[in-house]
Structure 1
């Protein structure tokens, strides 16, 4: 039976911090770093729905349950910075207690005024996708965000952003999450996948630069920082520094990474996304890059959208297979 113990985070799965004002701020794997898939630029449809419309997807044209049976529970995860802060988190896992590999899903950051209101992240469709493929999923709310509280260690300013520091501090929280989840009997050691959207995606790239133990693959959805400044589409706080930092991450990252962006992302446009990827690869990072056509009104929401999963699912699954990161049946 589905047990829902978590609230849904709406904005954090889709948005990245604008950083405006004071509160804004070789692994021996075959290289796929130069792989860049270009697609036609016609928009990917996001179907409109209303109460009289028929179900869009075939599996919805029937009565009964949809999706996997899962256990959903709110957790608190200790941090390692000495602040005695506990990260709010959501854990989603199969009904069985058999140990499963771990997938860490990292949230984005909304506009500054909304940060204090964040609760436990719950990327529902992505979480179910990973559980269906044999993972235990944990979604931590990093320090400085919402009910987690604690120091705003990864926050910076738009005028003089320190993207390296932001990556280091976010990586500290990702590692603390892994360390704590490794103590749980239902988590299988030695097999981790790290995923992130927006600031969470960029944080995951920072984490990749540490070549963390047991991490088989990292997936970056629309990653970046300081985007959509003053709600101006594709305006970024010091884009040159964002690109430079991506290159720094690539110098030491040897974990296979997957980058997924959309042509009409309001936070990080295609030119910036390609430039960050190029810098990461030039630094030595392993990165498979996909620039997808426009999705709805803002491609930044692809990851968390119920229709977006149909688009990214085959890309992610194929990548995980190549990286030997899918759990055994």
Structure 2
């Protein structure tokens, strides 16, 4: 049975041009099946294919891009967890995330890559279930755990596909997606081999002011909580000029994670990138990202370093 589950918010905003155009490259909701799985044929680049993957709301699966190397596999799986915003209009407008250079770096290294757009964002629509609350009293732990649950549901579904290996998955998170990835560090290393977090956190750039973070002490405390049962190696990366989570705060969070997490985290400050290093994961070149992947995925000894 087919049904139109295209988000109402986008329908209302289409005429004014406010709905982001990333979804336009996906099959329209009226043309897809409600059940998770592939929604169209493969295309370029890297066998790109539109999928729906499960979410916390069985009525609202998430739009996702899937990319694969040539052949039948099985391939290791890499899931990219996108950034977010507390601004409702910006969330509705969010284009379908695609991280093209990061995808290229991963696929050429033999990974199948899935990028789901979580509930409450862009074309996926639905309720914004990972809301952290207001700036004065954010619940960063809850927001991270809900994001982690969304990541885990999508990853579990993709790992069950015939083209996917069941072990050795990598979760790569950006900003709020990285924060959710940190909350998965307690999983079995057989299920998740590594977590790479680009500028993980929530509540950054408060009131759109660079370097202003809502309740930073709560971020640090929650990082310690996430690290307490850590089993998966975590690679924490932040650019020198990140305007959301400056290196000084990021290091405090990573140190708190490490202190309770049996030294399962490495921390690196990357050189300044563009006008705001927070966009490194989205805008860096495939060669830059590939070099980082090679270092981080082959770097078994957690340590603090500066590159």
The answer to whether TM tops 0.5 is yes
* Structure 2 residue matching 1:227: 3-state secondary structure: coil
The 5-angstrom pairing of residues 125-164 of structure 1 reads: 125-157=101-133, 158-164=135-141
Measured after TM superposition, the shift of residue 323 of structure 1 is 4.5
Bigger relative contact order (CA 8 A; separation at least 6): 1
The match for 1:97 is: 72
Name the CA shift for 1:69/1:296 in 2 (closer, same or farther; >3 Å). closer
What TM-score comes out, normalization by structure 1 length? 0.74
Tell me which protein shows more helix as a share of its residues: 2
Alignment equivalent of 1:120, drawn from 96, 100, 109: 96
Name the CA shift for 1:75/1:183 in 2 (closer, same or farther; >3 Å). same
The 5-angstrom pairing of residues 18-37 of structure 1 reads: none
- Residues in 2 aligned to 1:133 and 1:140: alpha-carbon distance in whole angstroms: 20
* Structure 2 residue matching 1:108: 3-state secondary structure: coil
The match for 2:29 is: none
Instruction: Please say if residues 69 and 95 of structure 1, whose CA atoms lie closer than 8 Å, have aligned partners that are also in contact.
Output: no
The match for 2:280 is: 302
* Structure 2 residue matching 1:291: 3-state secondary structure: strand
Q: CA RMSD in A?
A: 2.0
Measured after TM superposition, the shift of residue 237 of structure 1 is 0.9
* Structure 2 residue matching 1:260: 3-state secondary structure: strand
- For structure 2, the residue ranges without an aligned partner over 5 or more in a row are 1-20, 24-43, 302-307
Asked if residue 290 in structure 1 is aligned to residue 268 in structure 2, the reply is: yes
Name the CA shift for 1:212/1:82 in 2 (closer, same or farther; >3 Å). farther
Name the CA shift for 1:139/1:184 in 2 (closer, same or farther; >3 Å). same
1:270-305 per-residue CA deviation (whole Å, 9 max, x = no partner) reads 110110011000112511111122212111111111
- For structure 1, the residue ranges without an aligned partner over 5 or more in a row are 1-6, 10-67, 325-329
- Residues in 2 aligned to 1:310 and 1:205: alpha-carbon distance in whole angstroms: 25
The match for 2:161 is: 184
Measured after TM superposition, the shift of residue 182 of structure 1 is 2.1
1:189-232 per-residue CA deviation (whole Å, 9 max, x = no partner) reads 11200001111111110121344751100000011101011111
* Structure 2 residue matching 1:71: 3-state secondary structure: coil
- Residues in 1 aligned to 2:190 and 2:126: alpha-carbon distance in whole angstroms: 27
The 5-angstrom pairing of residues 126-275 of structure 1 reads: 126-157=102-133, 158-211=135-188, 213-275=190-252
- Residues in 1 aligned to 2:223 and 2:117: alpha-carbon distance in whole angstroms: 23
1:51-109 per-residue CA deviation (whole Å, 9 max, x = no partner) reads xxxxxxxxxxxxxxxxx961011111122x35422011110112322211100001001
1:223-263 per-residue CA deviation (whole Å, 9 max, x = no partner) reads 11010111110101100001110000010111001111111
- Residues in 2 aligned to 1:170 and 1:255: alpha-carbon distance in whole angstroms: 17
The match for 2:81 is: 106
1:144-184 per-residue CA deviation (whole Å, 9 max, x = no partner) reads 22222223211122221111111111111111111211232
Instruction: Please say if residues 121 and 141 of structure 1, whose CA atoms lie closer than 8 Å, have aligned partners that are also in contact.
Output: yes
Q: How many residues in Structure 1 have an aligned counterpart in Structure 2?
A: 258
- Residues in 1 aligned to 2:287 and 2:68: alpha-carbon distance in whole angstroms: 21
Instruction: Please say if residues 201 and 223 of structure 1, whose CA atoms lie closer than 8 Å, have aligned partners that are also in contact.
Output: yes
- Residues in 2 aligned to 1:111 and 1:302: alpha-carbon distance in whole angstroms: 21
Name the CA shift for 1:323/1:215 in 2 (closer, same or farther; >3 Å). farther
